[in-house]
Structure 1
């Protein structure tokens, strides 16, 4: 359920409970208490919904960040004259970049690592590059 639908539902429920309370025998005080209770429940539900949406947004943001890191590193590797003919695979999970594949020299390994480390969003690097002999 979307946030706006949740808020509308909670408001409608509060109003219904309030009207029901006014029709029953008793003072307006009882009706007010029921409205207060419904509003409190509605507020709690709204906070739970906000927290849930925030967690989902954070998780999605992580995937987007990892994809962006991978794409940027791949683009830089492909545009580098020393590395463009190499078979280098890059994956990123939680900011940790894993680089694997075969290159033709230690200089190529070093250059690939320079590119990876130059990305400010990289938290850790796992180098699995192999020099072809």
Structure 2
């Protein structure tokens, strides 16, 4: 009976270890918690850009990975690029802004 209990305990400990390791992040892949954080960050940046009346947010794409935000898409002027970067940097949680926006 004691062996069965030890076997079950060892099985569940091994299972827990596998689950914990599989949720960990690597340099090229984010863990589950980071994925959720980046989704929230992307949403915050999109909302900030949408709330700025001078920007055409429909043509600005936002992607996040571990606090790094990439802006891409098309804008009308260099001033719009600068404004989008400024708005993005003001969002809490943004570490780096990468600009891939292009002029129309």
What is the TM-score normalised by the length of structure 1?
Answer: 0.59
Cα drift, residue 85 of structure 1:
5.8
**RMSD of the alignment, in Å?**
2.4
CA distance in 2, matches of 1:112, 1:122: 13
Structure 2: where are the runs of 5+ without partners?
A: 25-30
Helix, strand or coil at the partner of 1:120: coil
> Offset at 1:103?
1.4
- Whose helix fraction is larger, Structure 1's or Structure 2's? 1
Is the 2:49–2:88 contact (alpha carbons within 8 Å) kept by the matching residues of 1? no
Cα distance in 2 between the residues matched to 1:100 and 1:62: 22
TM-score normalised by structure 2 residue count: 0.72
Deviation of residue 74 (structure 1)?
Answer: 0.9
Matched, 1:94 2:60: no
Rounded Cα–Cα distance in structure 2 between residues aligned with 1:85 and 1:72: 13
List alignment gaps of at least 5 residues for structure 1.
1-17, 19-34
Counterpart mapping for 1:45-124 below 5 A = 45-55=11-21, 59-84=31-56, 87-124=59-96
The count of corresponding residues between Structure 1 and Structure 2 is 98
3-state SS in 1 of match to 2:11: helix
